[in-house]
Amino acid sequence: MTIEIEDQNRAEIFQTLSDPNRLKIIRILYHSSRELTCGEVGEKLSISKSTVSYHFKELRSVQLTKTRREAQSKYLSLNMDTFNKYLPGFLDSL
């Protein structure tokens, strides 16, 4: 991967992280001992499931989160590979 592509990826990640709700979502997932559903995250933040779903779409678009579907539920978790590659140490600051 070229330096230009790596820099573009970093810029997109930082732009995505500029929303306070997304930082809160990352914090919740980081401190959770298991995958969480959109509804569970929404309850913790007192925001609607659809709003959480929108933020997860944005986080997933830059590969900060992963989604696993089981029946009607989507389970959400952090993509540690992306954090380790582009943001080493970031999660420890949360």
Domain boundaries in the chain? Answer: 3-93
Tens-place pLDDT, residues 36-61: 999 999 999 999 989 999 999 999 99
74 touches 68 (CB < 8 A): yes
> What pTM did the predictor assign?
0.89
What pLDDT, on a 0 to 100 scale, did the predictor assign at position 1? 58
- The Cα 61–Cα 70 span in angstroms is 20
The mean pLDDT values, 10 residues at a time, for the chain of 94 residues are 81 95 97 94 93 94 94 92 94 91
* Angle at which helices 20-31 and 49-61 cross, to 10°: 90
Class assignment of domain 3-93? mainly alpha
What pLDDT, on a 0 to 100 scale, did the predictor assign at position 5? 78
What pLDDT, on a 0 to 100 scale, did the predictor assign at position 61? 96
Nearest CA to 13 out of 76, 86, 79, 94 is that of 86
What pLDDT, on a 0 to 100 scale, did the predictor assign at position 3? 76
Pairing of strands 36-37, 65-70: unpaired
Residue 1, token pair as written in the block: 């991967």
